[in-house]
Copies of this chain bind each other. A is one copy, B any other.
Amino acid sequence: MLEIFKVSKKEQIRISEKSLRRSVMAFFEKMGEISEDAAIATDTLVSSDLRGVESHGVSNMLRYYLDGYMKEKIKARPNWHIVNETPGTATLDADNGLVVFLGKHAMQIAIDKAKKVGVGAVTVFNSEHSGAIGHHAMSAVQQDMIGLVMTSASARVVPTFASKALLGTNPIAVAAPTRNEAPFLYDAATCSVAMNKIWIARRLGSMLGPGWICDNQGLPIEESILAPESDDDFLLLPLGATREQGSHKGFGLAMIVDIMSALLAGSIPDMLSSVDNKDRKQSHHFTAYNIEAFTELDTFKDNMDRMLKMIRETKPISSEERVLYPGLLEHEEKQARQENGIPFHKDVVTWFKEMTGHLSIPDIEIL
């Protein structure tokens, strides 16, 4: 994560992981989720905070979920079920449940299928927010597989040359196991910058870079600006920002996510929701590749380690200290935060304390 997204030291308050887990677990149970799912949801969110991915951690997501449960947009104890199934595939109706925990179930179905036929693919529709999809991709890694996860999200991104938003930030995550290196974990929106990062920049008063957003008519804003006050005042650009810099590639990747998640589940991407007069829902895709079906697992892991080490040890350009591969910094951050606590912005701590008081659930413990 770029420095500008980080909470400055003087506004940081450190929270113990254990107390955070206890509070978040109690939150989900209070919302009506069964203990097993509350525990999974807690792990998804707290793992993001541990990895330094605040954009998808407790601070951003919990308020959003609370609102969703209150408005009955998110259904607790969803009656999720498989609507179509073959030896290698399944399609799940999430019944408006949070993929924050359903993601683990969906990926496990994919993994179980991959154990039998080498590869398993699961699509999920009628679903609510997933948290960081990289966390669900990591479920596959824990069982020595490669995990691929995608999310078709609400339309906020403008296709190349278009004057309105039709695509979601539509992230793609891929995780792959290693032997001794930190696991490979790629988890990124297909737009210039994820929506959650704009929210954090707004809270922190950080500047956005050129080409990160466009105005409401689709024109790229090519200078650095403060994050707009309201989400209605801007739209997002695809990865690449402009056609000359490759925005058609980011745009196409976002469409792939819509196709693999929403359309392949028999559902629709957000751009068609208003046409059909339907509620905005998310759709998701999970594929697990069983490495042993393709090659020797040991060979794979050894080669992963060799590749990641080579990248990590490559001489950086003079302005930088090191070369990082996807997942390395987050892995190191996790180790540090498990030891020293999780830094929260003071405003988040204030909100959290009000929320736990209001819901009569255990408070977080400041270190």
* Contact stretch, chosen from A5-13, A16-24, A288-296, A334-342: A288-296
Select from chain B the residue with minimum beta-carbon distance to A114.
B88
- Asked whether any CB of chain B lies closer than 8 Å to the CB of A362, the reply is no
A148-195, CB < 8 A from B: 159-164, 166, 172, 174, 176, 184, 186, 188, 190, 192-193
B91 touches A295 (CB 8 A): yes
**Shortest distance between the CB of A322 and any CB in chain B (Å):** 7
B258 touches A218 (CB 8 A): no
A267-303, CB < 8 A from B: 268-269, 271-272, 275, 287, 289-291, 293-296, 299-300, 303
A314 touches B209 (CB 8 A): no
A294 touches B239 (CB 8 A): no
A161 touches B326 (CB 8 A): no
Select from chain B the residue with minimum beta-carbon distance to A297.
B266
- Asked whether any CB of chain B lies closer than 8 Å to the CB of A219, the reply is yes
Given contacts A121-B118, A255-B186, contact A209 B245 (CB under 8 A): yes
A300-321, CB < 8 A from B: 300, 303-304, 306-307, 310-311, 314-317, 320
Given contacts A291-B264, A317-B162, A323-B162, contact A118 B256 (CB under 8 A): no
- Asked whether any CB of chain B lies closer than 8 Å to the CB of A123, the reply is yes
B265 touches A295 (CB 8 A): yes
Select from chain B the residue with minimum beta-carbon distance to A258.
B307
- Asked whether any CB of chain B lies closer than 8 Å to the CB of A205, the reply is no
A184 touches B218 (CB 8 A): no
- Asked whether any CB of chain B lies closer than 8 Å to the CB of A250, the reply is yes
- Asked whether any CB of chain B lies closer than 8 Å to the CB of A325, the reply is yes
Neighbouring B residues of A88 by C-beta, 8 Å: 87-88, 114, 117-120, 293
B264 touches A315 (CB 8 A): no
Neighbouring B residues of A324 by C-beta, 8 Å: 160-161, 248
**Shortest distance between the CB of A169 and any CB in chain B (Å):** 12
Query: Which residue of the partner chain, among B91, B211, B294, contacts A265 with CB atoms under 8 Å?
Result: B294
Query: Which residue of the partner chain, among B117, B271, B289, contacts A310 with CB atoms under 8 Å?
Result: B271
Neighbouring B residues of A32 by C-beta, 8 Å: none
A234-254, CB < 8 A from B: 239-241, 243-246, 248-253
Select from chain B the residue with minimum beta-carbon distance to A116.
B87
A245 touches B146 (CB 8 A): no
User: For the complex, what is the distance from the CA of A62 to the CA of B16, rounded to whole Å?
Assistant: 63
User: For the complex, what is the distance from the CA of A244 to the CA of B288, rounded to whole Å?
Assistant: 31
Contact-residue size bin, chain A (C-beta under 8 Å from the other chain): 35 or more
**Shortest distance between the CB of A360 and any CB in chain B (Å):** 43
B119 touches A287 (CB 8 A): yes
Neighbouring B residues of A2 by C-beta, 8 Å: 243-244
B295 touches A266 (CB 8 A): yes
Query: A198-230: contact bitstring with B at CB < 8 Å (1 yes, 0 no)?
Result: 000000000001110000011100000000000
Neighbouring B residues of A290 by C-beta, 8 Å: 86, 89
B252 touches A186 (CB 8 A): yes
B186 touches A314 (CB 8 A): no
B118 touches A314 (CB 8 A): no
- Asked whether any CB of chain B lies closer than 8 Å to the CB of A366, the reply is no
Select from chain B the residue with minimum beta-carbon distance to A249.
B188
Q: Would you give 24 A-B contacts (Cβ < 8 Å), ordered by A?
A: A87-B117, A88-B88, A118-B121, A121-B294, A146-B260, A159-B323, A162-B316, A162-B317, A162-B323, A166-B314, A174-B259, A176-B259, A184-B259, A209-B245, A210-B245, A240-B245, A241-B246, A246-B250, A255-B307, A262-B303, A263-B300, A266-B294, A271-B307, A275-B310
